[in-house]
Amino acid sequence: MPIVREIKQTIHEDLSKRYCTVREKSMLHTASTLDPRFKALPFLSQDEQQDIYSKVIAEAAALKAETQKEHAKEPGAPVEGQDDQHSPVPKRRNTALINLLGKTFTDSRAAPKSASTRAEEEMSKYLETPPLSLSEDPLIWWRNHETVFPLLAKLAKHYLCIPGTSVASERVFSTAGDIVTAQRSMLSSEHVDQLLFLQKNLEVEASGEL
């Protein structure tokens, strides 16, 4: 429909003025990738999609490494990959099969995967999942799939918690303008903060008694 096309064009032109820097575009593309409704990024070229996916993988791996460092600083915190080092090893009887093939099979252990490898595997599996319906809530989706994609879920919380509108902050400024009038220009900044807090948080139930 022509009217829908015109509305889309107007919105696109307005957003192009607001989000024009490389940093802003990168943040929006990352947030779109972490939104299961828009993760396919159909508005970008294939090369741009791969660049964003690689950036998300690297950022998720870096967040995992940062979390591990924070846990390592805590007293008594176990180091990942070393949980079984001090556990008692059960004694095994030496049999002919153990003597012959023990080194190859019995003592073999899978090497722990790096944070980068885990993030890459999660991203591949995440992109293979069906896209979420536009009517669904992406935050609920991540809560239900947090155990499947632990690294990406943690990164999604960092981006999808950002408000998509400035209405809330603009309302605070409007309320401040109603409080600090010409007749109340001598109010201290501390009292203004207190009045704003009370106006936004104090709920008084109406009572029928006088």
The answer to pTM > 0.75 is: no
Query: Based on the structure, what is the number of domains in the chain?
Result: 2
Distances (CA, A) of 137 to 73, 133, 159: 36, 9, 15
- Where do runs of H (alpha helix) occur along 84-188? 96-101, 115-128, 138-144, 150-160, 167-179
Asked if residue 191 and residue 120 are part of one domain, the reply reads no
Domain contains 36? yes
DSSP line for 35-101: STTTTT-TTS-HHHHHHHHHHHHHHHHHHHHHHHHHHHHSTTPPPTT-TTTTSPPPP----HHHHHH
- Least confident range from 23-37, 54-68, 190-204: namely 190-204
Cα-atom radius of gyration of the chain, to the nearest Å? Answer: 27
Domain contains 209? no
Asked if residue 150 and residue 174 are part of one domain, the reply reads no
Each residue of 110-142: pLDDT tens digit?
A: 678 888 999 999 999 999 999 999 999 999 999
Asked if residue 52 and residue 18 are part of one domain, the reply reads yes
Each residue of 74-94: pLDDT tens digit?
A: 666 555 545 444 545 556 566
Each residue of 161-175: pLDDT tens digit?
A: 877 677 777 777 788
Asked if residue 196 and residue 121 are part of one domain, the reply reads no
Each residue of 33-81: pLDDT tens digit?
A: 999 999 999 989 999 999 999 999 999 999 888 877 766 666 665 555 4
Domain contains 29? yes
Domain contains 88? no
What is the span of the domain harbouring residue 184? 167-200
Asked if residue 145 and residue 185 are part of one domain, the reply reads no
pLDDT score of 61? 93
